[in-house]
């Protein structure tokens, strides 16, 4: 099993807060990798919320290829954070790298007339192109290319990697942080298989397994959308199903669980939106997961959520206080981050629940599958 930790805060927090919570849960991950998703950025990036930020790992030659490519597309660098460690001896288990790059760009002038949807599709296309370029020569690893998002991934123990890369920098503080301590369940470790996963403003990470991965992947790939690709990990489907639910079907977050873990038929018949849910279940039957899984995710508006599948065999708890809430695989991780909270208000989602902290960060809201949907299209 992996271990997961996420936080949402009114004031920007250091990624170290999340990584120290992962370290408390160290018995649940083997130190084979760490992944970070940061949004609601502070520091220098706070004033660049509309500028797409490129996150990745580069060799010196890969960085030169990137510069040539971006210049040809008309993107100009506005701000960058380069973590250069080529002359340092990496900790045991951490590969030697040249540059970890986080770079904010100004849009080309000819993008001014594009709609938001057109910009989003073009950003995705560029990200996929850069990823393919990197795989050709093994000189670029691309994690994200999106406004107000930074992603960092590396092989090795999470807290050790954090100290090595000095992730306590002011520029890496964020209001939303998702972190995964990886348990290697594959024969080879591939950074593209490390959670969290990201697609057009949506990110998820998962503790569990997905035995229905192949038919789900095939269904998503048949939708004709370029972003439904990659799949170095079976858990990447959770990000893509959420994207499909919200962006392609136009449904709210509360519908996501009805897609991946629909109610039994008798439960649907008793539901106030039963006719719609039965249609949704039949139409999206190929997207039903086979767990066990605990999923934590973030939406473009900074809403954070946690849900469980029907088997409820992966732990998860939500707690905190107004303005600061955390989602954790174990209570000890929550204790490390919010020791003085009212623990009687902690919530552990069960198989019908989605625990949500909306972007106002006022409280934990419980959405149950037996509740009416807020909006049905």
| pLDDT band, residue 106 (cuts 50/70/90) | very high
Q: What pLDDT score was predicted for residue 114?
A: 95
What's the whole-model pTM score? 0.95
Q: What pLDDT score was predicted for residue 98?
A: 94
Give the span between the Cα atoms of 111 and 107, in whole angstroms: 6
140 to each of 67, 191, 198, how far by Cα in Å?
12, 12, 17
Q: What pLDDT score was predicted for residue 187?
A: 46
Average pLDDT estimate for 39-62: 96
Q: Does the structure show a pLDDT above 60 at 183?
A: no
Q: What pLDDT score was predicted for residue 185?
A: 54
| From-to residues of CATH 3.60.20.10 in the chain | 3-49+148-368
Average pLDDT, the chain: 93
Q: Give 122-172 pLDDT, tens digit per residue.
A: 999 999 999 999 999 999 999 999 999 999 999 999 999 999 999 999 999
CATH number 3.30.70 given to 50-147: yes
Give the span between the Cα atoms of 51 and 76, in whole angstroms: 10
| From-to residues of CATH 3.30.70 in the chain | 50-147
Q: What pLDDT score was predicted for residue 313?
A: 67
Phi/psi at 82 (5° precision): -110, 120
Q: Hey, what CATH topology would domain 3-49+148-368 get?
A: 3.60.20
Q: Give 350-373 pLDDT, tens digit per residue.
A: 999 999 999 999 999 999 999 999
Q: Does the structure show a pLDDT above 80 at 291?
A: no
| pLDDT band, residue 28 (cuts 50/70/90) | very low
**108-117, 163-172, 183-192: segment of lowest average pLDDT:** 183-192
298 to each of 201, 203, 204, how far by Cα in Å?
8, 5, 6
Residue with tokens 């039994």: 264
Q: For residue 57, what are its two tokens?
A: 């790992």
Beta bridge partners of 356: 305, 365
Q: What is the 3-state secondary structure (H, E, C) of the chain?
A: CCEEEEEEEEEEECHHHHHHHHHHCHHHCCCCCEEEEEEEECHHHHHHCCCEEEEEEECHHHHHHHHHHHHHHCCEEEEEEEEECCCCCCCCCCCCCCEEEEEEEECCHHHCCCCHHHHHHHHHHHHHHHHHHHHHHCCEEEEEEEECEEEEEECCCHHHHHHHHCCCCHHHCEEEEEEEECCCCCCCCCHHHCCCEEECCEEEEEEECCCCHHHHHHHHHCCCCCCCCCCCCCCHHHHHHHHHHHHHCCCCHHHHHHHHCCCCHHHHHCCCCHHHHHHHHHHCHHHCCCCCEEEEEECCCCCEEEEECCCCCCCCEEEEECCEEEEECCHHHHHHHCCCCCHHHCECCCCCEEEEECCCCCCCEEEECCCCCCCCC
Q: For residue 24, what are its two tokens?
A: 């408390």
| pLDDT band, residue 29 (cuts 50/70/90) | very low
Q: Give 272-289 pLDDT, tens digit per residue.
A: 999 999 999 999 999 999
């Amino acid at each position: 099993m992996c271990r997961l930790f996420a936080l949402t805060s009114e004031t920007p927090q250091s990624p170290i807060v999340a990584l120290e919570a992962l370290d408390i849960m160290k018995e649940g991950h083997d130190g084979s990798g760490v992944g970070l998703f940061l949004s609601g950025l502070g520091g220098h990036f706070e004033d660049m919320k509309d500028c797409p930020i490129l996150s990745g790992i580069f060799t010196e030659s890969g960085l030169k290829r990137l510069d040539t490519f971006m210049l040809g597309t008309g993107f100009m660098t506005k701000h960058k954070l380069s973590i250069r460690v080529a002359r340092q001896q990496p900790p045991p288990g951490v590969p030697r790298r040249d540059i970890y790059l986080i770079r904010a760009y100004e849009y080309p002038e000819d993008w001014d007339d594009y709609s938001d949807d057109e910009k989003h599709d073009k950003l995705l296309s560029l990200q996929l192109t850069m990823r393919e370029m990197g795989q050709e020569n093994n000189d670029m690893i691309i994690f994200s290319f999106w406004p107000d998002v930074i992603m960092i991934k590396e092989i090795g123990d999470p807290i050790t990697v954090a100290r090595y890369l000095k992730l306590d920098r002011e520029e890496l503080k964020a209001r939303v942080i998702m972190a995964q301590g990886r348990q290697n369940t594959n024969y080879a470790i591939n950074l593209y298989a490390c959670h969290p996963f990201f697609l057009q403003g949506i990110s998820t990470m998962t503790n569990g397994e997905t035995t229905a991965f192949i038919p789900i992947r095939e269904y998503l790939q048949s939708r004709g959308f370029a972003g439904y690709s990659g799949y170095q990990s079976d858990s990447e489907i959770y990000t893509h199903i959420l994207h499909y639910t919200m962006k392609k079907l136009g449904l709210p977050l509360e519908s996501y669980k009805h897609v991946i873990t629909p109610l039994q038929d008798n439960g649907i018949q008793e539901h106030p939106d039963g006719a719609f849910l039965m249609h949704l279940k039949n139409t999206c039957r190929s997207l039903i997961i086979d767990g066990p899984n605990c999923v934590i995710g973030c939406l473009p508006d900074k809403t954070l959520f946690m849900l469980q599948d029907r088997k409820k065999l992966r732990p998860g708890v939500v707690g905190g206080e107004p303005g600061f809430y955390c989602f954790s695989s174990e209570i000890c991780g929550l204790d490390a981050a919010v020791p003085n909270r009212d623990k009687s208000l902690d919530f552990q989602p069960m198989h019908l629940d989605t625990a949500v902290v909306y972007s106002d960060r006022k409280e934990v809201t419980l959405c149950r599958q037996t509740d009416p949907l807020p909006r049905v299209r």
